[in-house]
Amino acid sequence: MAIAVVVILLVVGSVVFHLASPWWFTPLASNWGTIDATVDITFWVTGIVFVLANLFMAWCIIKYRSKKGQKANYEPENKKLEIWLTAITTVGVAAMLAPGLIVWGQFVNVPENAMVVEAVGQQWNWNYRYPGKDGELGEVDPKLIAPENPFGISPDDPNGQDDVLVFSQEMRLPLGEPVKLLMRSKDVLHNFAVPQFRVKMDIVPGMVTYQWFQTTRTGRYEILCEELCGVGHHVMRGVVIVDTPDEYQTWLNSQSTFADTVAARNVDLDAGKMAYAPCAACHGASGEGNKLLNAPKLAGLDDRYMKRQMDNYRSGVRGGDTADILGMQMRAMVSTLPTARDVNNVIGYINTLPITSSAATISGDIERGKEIYQTCKACHGPNGEGIWVMGAPRQAKMDDWYILAQLKNFKSGLRGSHEDDWYGGQMVQMAQMLSNDQEMNDLIAYINTL
């Protein structure tokens, strides 16, 4: 009898929990209300079966519980009952599957007028490509992927020249326009999902997969990678901002094309050297860094990392917090380089400076540090050389006091907390792994051996 009561309470509790639960769908922001409908149908079918089957069980326990003088009757076959059960089960299963097949048919048939956008996934970031004025994406070849051509666009294809490249985790879309999203991966399996759009699709290296949707409201929505893709899987997040068509167009026009990025490769080293003069006051004539001035070494950092930091300082993504005094100083200095051209020239000049070893100032347990570094090396490289494609700068031969200061800043959120600091945000998460100063010292002591 007690069991029957427990079963009934479980049924009532499950239904109440389901109805009162705060964990429900996020508000729909796309045309895919039919996907919600199929999920609702599945909930109804499985919910009704769950309630009826369990209440029937409880009723049996009460009605047929052991009584003196009452004997159970063995009845192995009951054709009529079996026909009924088979028929009802068939209807229930068909009701759950058939609507899904209809919606899937719509999901794989993209409307003719859909605009095409490409999302490129890699461990653990997103980049996006929009067709330029010609409305066509240029040819790509994975063999062409290089620091100066991260999308691997064929320089010989005229369609690729005006492709708009977005080197940020943030993409934008115009409200109400059907979008066909093409997806590529540079390395392993990923998955592009936006919960509010109710869409998701795997991304397979060597294939171009697709999905389509039509947005129904403006807003900022998180893009999640929903395929386990390595230690950084949980930080592989992006954002899609749905704008009015005018706002979208303004944003799109402000992004650089493939041709722009090719042109940016031509640097004027003499101009770069001149522009570097104010930097040299703190960072040293050879970019060797100066601990007394809290200026880190620059020689050895890759172009993309330096450019991103300068852009972040300029926009206040880094150094925008008044508690970050050193960051604020650097913000002021970045204003001495007003144009993208100046920044490119300075970075080009810094690239010519020799990479020397910095003196070690921190000691710790190297063996323990090596263990901790196993997680870091996925992005920063087995020898701390940095991996440009990960957005991860060099650690080996850099200033250890600066690495320690930045680890602390990431851990406390002084650096990397801005919502547009994508890579910094990843480091904020990764730095939480270091539980105390000793672990940071151990880690850096190991990095000093690289």
CA neighbours within 13 Å on the CB side: how many for 415?
A: 22
Supply the minimum distance, in Å, between the C-beta of residue 62 and ligand CUA. 50
CA neighbours within 13 Å on the CB side: how many for 335?
A: 8
CA neighbours within 13 Å on the CB side: how many for 191?
A: 16
Of 168, 121, 122, 130, nearest to 419 by C-alpha is: 168
Indicate the residue among 183 and 299 with the shorter CB distance to ligand CUA. 183
Indicate the residue among 164 and 223 with the shorter CB distance to ligand CUA. 223
Indicate the residue among 124 and 151 with the shorter CB distance to ligand CUA. 124
Indicate the residue among 185 and 409 with the shorter CB distance to ligand CUA. 185
Indicate the residue among 233 and 408 with the shorter CB distance to ligand CUA. 233
Supply the minimum distance, in Å, between the C-beta of residue 112 and ligand CUA. 31
Provide the binding-site residues for ligand CUA, judged by CB under 6 A: 121, 124, 190, 225, 227-229, 233, 236
Q: Which residue has the tokens 């990923």?
A: 190
Supply the minimum distance, in Å, between the C-beta of residue 122 and ligand CUA. 8
Supply the minimum distance, in Å, between the C-beta of residue 224 and ligand CUA. 8
Neighbours of 345 (CB within 10 A): 23
Supply the minimum distance, in Å, between the C-beta of residue 176 and ligand CUA. 29
Q: Tell me how far apart the alpha carbons of residues 188 and 196 are, in angstroms, rounded to a whole number.
A: 25
Supply the minimum distance, in Å, between the C-beta of residue 28 and ligand CUA. 24
Distances (CA, A) of 63 to 9, 10, 57, 329, 430: 18, 19, 10, 80, 59
Supply the minimum distance, in Å, between the C-beta of residue 261 and ligand CUA. 24
Indicate the residue among 15 and 207 with the shorter CB distance to ligand CUA. 207
Distances (CA, A) of 38 to 96, 121, 194, 233: 7, 29, 18, 29
Indicate the residue among 171 and 414 with the shorter CB distance to ligand CUA. 171
Q: Which residue has the tokens 């409880």?
A: 58
Q: Tell me how far apart the alpha carbons of residues 140 and 151 are, in angstroms, rounded to a whole number.
A: 7
